[in-house]
Amino acid sequence: MEDPQIITLYFDRDERALTETAQKYGRYCFAVASNVLNSKEDAEECVNDTYLAAWQNIPPTRPACLRLFLAKITRNLAFNKYRAAHREKRGFGELALALSEMDEFLVGTAEIEEEARLAALKEALNRFLQSLPSRERGMFLRRYFFVEDTATIARRYGEKDSNVRKILSRTRQKLKIFLQKEGYAL
């Protein structure tokens, strides 16, 4: 079933929307959650919570891209579950490593409370991502949005792991310079 048809099922409050969503995007959402949590049970729970969140948010939201809408929900739920599980002690794993790679210049931005400032930051990040060549953007998003490890990214792009790490390091430096030019104190 195509995405517009699935979204229509949500708007009609037809429970088949959940079945169709699970059939079409279940494995994809599981992979997103798994990359963050490294636990089959926790990832499955996040996927189920994703379906509930989609049911609660469609309507009124009409996602332009259902796949990305679900990925964002799954990712946020997985991050929340990860934070809750590691609140007292910072665990190791890909999420901690990926976030630590960005810590040196994104520490202050996480504390921004005004919605307008967050929206401006989001817009700036989107502009930065659009300025990147598609291969570099893909690697960056796979690492920092989908929290894939560098070895998986390397296999996907036919690169050596060390080369992917260099590309990501250079991209982070570009982001740092870009954000400084945009007026963010890093």
DSSP single-letter state for residue 185: -
pLDDT average, residue stretch 6-24: 95
- The residue among 72 and 117 whose pLDDT is bigger is 72
Three-state secondary structure call for residue 60? coil
**Of 34, 112, 116, whose CA–CA distance to 75 is shortest?**
34
Name the pLDDT band for 137 (thresholds 50, 70, 90): very high
**What amino acid is encoded at 6 in this protein?**
I
pTM higher than 0.85:
no
Three-state secondary structure call for residue 133? coil
Which residues have CB under 8 Å from 45's CB, separation 6+? Answer: 81
Looking at residue 87, its pLDDT comes to: 59
User: pLDDT of 139-185, one tens digit each?
Assistant: 999 998 888 899 999 999 999 999 999 999 999 999 999 988 888 77
User: Do residues 147 and 71 touch, judged by C-beta distance below 8 A?
Assistant: no
Q: Token pair for residue 6?
A: 């699935």
> CA angle at residue 107 from 93 to 127, to 5 degrees?
95
- The residue among 38 and 93 whose pLDDT is bigger is 38
User: pLDDT of 75-130, one tens digit each?
Assistant: 989 988 887 776 545 445 566 666 666 655 554 444 434 555 667 777 888 899 99
Q: What percent of the chain has pLDDT over 90?
A: 59
